[in-house]
Amino acid sequence: MTTKTIKFSELTKRNLENGDYLAGLYQGKNVMLQELNETGFTPIPWTLVQSTSQVVTPNQGYVSASNATCAFQLPPLFNTGDIFEFAGATAAGFTLIQNDNQQIVFGITKSTLGIMGGLTSSSQGDIVVLKGVVPNVSFIVVSSQGNINCF
């Protein structure tokens, strides 16, 4: 297994490639890119997104590498325990968009219910990990780094 360590402030589309894996292992302000996820050695595939929108699927990671804010559309169908990971490689940040009747719980804060709610990121190096709680309805933020806000 190859490991590459990158400071969050240096996380850009230039040092990531399609097929890289981003693990939730933090050492100071570094994140380790490797073939590893929270369950051990089963990799979560990561996609480098250079467009301004992307429909996401469960158990995937996405790196926003667009020069404009990338809107990630959460899936209408998911299961309890499904993982969704997002990282921002540019200062443009990203937005997580919910579907009808969906909601994200972030600590003591909840997003607005339905299509008017979600999460926003506004800084390079922001990371959010969501886990499906109630199938097709609710997510919980299990990990975050940076400037993440509910709306």
Which domains are delineated in the chain? 44-150 (2.60.120.640)
CA atoms within a 13 Å half-sphere pointing along the CA-CB vector of 96 = 36
Residue 43 has pLDDT above 70, yes or no: no
Work out whether the CA dihedral 12, 129, 79, 55 comes out positive or negative: negative
Mean predicted confidence (pLDDT) in 90-106: 96
Structure tokens at 93: 């940040």
Q: How confident is the model at residue 54 (pLDDT cuts 50, 70, 90)?
A: very high
pLDDT at 33: 42
- Per-residue pLDDT tens for 107-124? 999 999 999 999 999 999
pLDDT at 11: 54
Q: How confident is the model at residue 46 (pLDDT cuts 50, 70, 90)?
A: confident
* Site of tokens 């400071």: 7
